[in-house]
Structure 1
Amino acid sequence: MFSDCACPGECGRPDRGEDGVEVARDEHETWAERGLCRKVDPDTLFVEGAAQNHAKALCTGCPVRTECLAHALDNRIDHGVWGGTTERDRRALLRRRPTVTSWRNLLEAARAEYSRQSPHQEPGAGWTQAV
């Protein structure tokens, strides 16, 4: 899961991926450098209409999907696909939960709870519905 510091894995403390397994990484590597999208053209993630479905599909199974979504929500990023969500998806989450002060903490807790309740589910499958 997330370390207890404010940085996204940059302090060198152990980090865990979407499946809860500790991720071995260089102390200078950030969550963004572990994303499945790191090797695609960034313009692929900043599209409109039906092309957003393809962009969202790139996030499926990404080990840092939670971190990415939390970053976009905590920083109120308006454009692009982040953590498998579109701008519209994120606006809906922000409207539904206006009092959330840390999406990072909320998403971590939701993922942990979902993992406890559904131990046989594929890692990362469906837990975001709990938010």
Structure 2
Amino acid sequence: MGWVKDWNTKAACRGADPDDLFVQGAAQNRAKAVCGGCPVRAECLADALDSRVEFGVWGGMTERERRALLRRRPQVTSWRRLLATAKAAYEVESAATAARRAARGGPAARPVEQVEPVGPVEPAPVIGAA
């Protein structure tokens, strides 16, 4: 997919009520769940980190998580460059893995039922639902 410059037009939260993304406490987990499958999560996070956005959930991270990351990695001058490089490497590795599986005669990806869940699997909450 590559790096998406107009990420906000493709974000999973683009139709969400902004009040649901600028929340505190347990409500942050609901906001972060929206980011889980977002195709532009890295772009969103990079923008928030580079711009030092102080409030809200961006790229699946709360303001507290972003502040902690910025403190741990003060040497990073461009989160966009760092995350774009990581995303490109991931996409290359994913393509190589799919090619190896196909060469062995297997599916490009494992069927979902073969993937072991890490913990209890719960459906993602819908933002704005009561």
TM bucket (normalised to shorter chain) is 0.5 to 0.7
Query: Which segments of 5 or more consecutive residues in structure 2 lack a partner in the other structure?
Result: 99-108, 111-130
More helix by share: 2
Q: Using the TM superposition, give the Cα deviation of residue 99 of structure 1 relative to its aligned residue in structure 2, in angstroms.
A: 1.2
Q: Which region of structure 1 is more displaced relative to structure 2, 110-119 or 88-97?
A: 110-119
Matches within 5 A, 1:18-33: 30-33=6-9
Q: Using the TM superposition, give the Cα deviation of residue 114 of structure 1 relative to its aligned residue in structure 2, in angstroms.
A: 3.3
Distance 1:112 1:38 in 2: 24
Query: Which segments of 5 or more consecutive residues in structure 1 lack a partner in the other structure?
Result: 3-7, 10-29, 123-131
The runs of at least 4 consecutive aligned structure 1 residues that moved more than 3 Å come to 114-122
Q: Which amino acid aligns with 2:76?
A: V
Q: Using the TM superposition, give the Cα deviation of residue 34 of structure 1 relative to its aligned residue in structure 2, in angstroms.
A: 1.1
Match of 2:67 in 1: 91
Q: Which amino acid aligns with 1:106?
A: L
Count residues with an aligned counterpart.
97
User: In the alignment, does 2:88 pair up with 1:112?
Assistant: yes
1:77 to 53, 57, 72: 53
Match of 1:16 in 2: none
Q: Percent identity?
A: 61
SS state at 2:13 partner: helix
Query: Which structure carries more relative contact order (alpha carbon 8 Å, separation 6+)?
Result: 2
Q: Which amino acid aligns with 1:112?
A: A
User: In the alignment, does 2:20 pair up with 1:41?
Assistant: no
Q: State the TM-score, normalizing by the size of structure 2.
A: 0.67
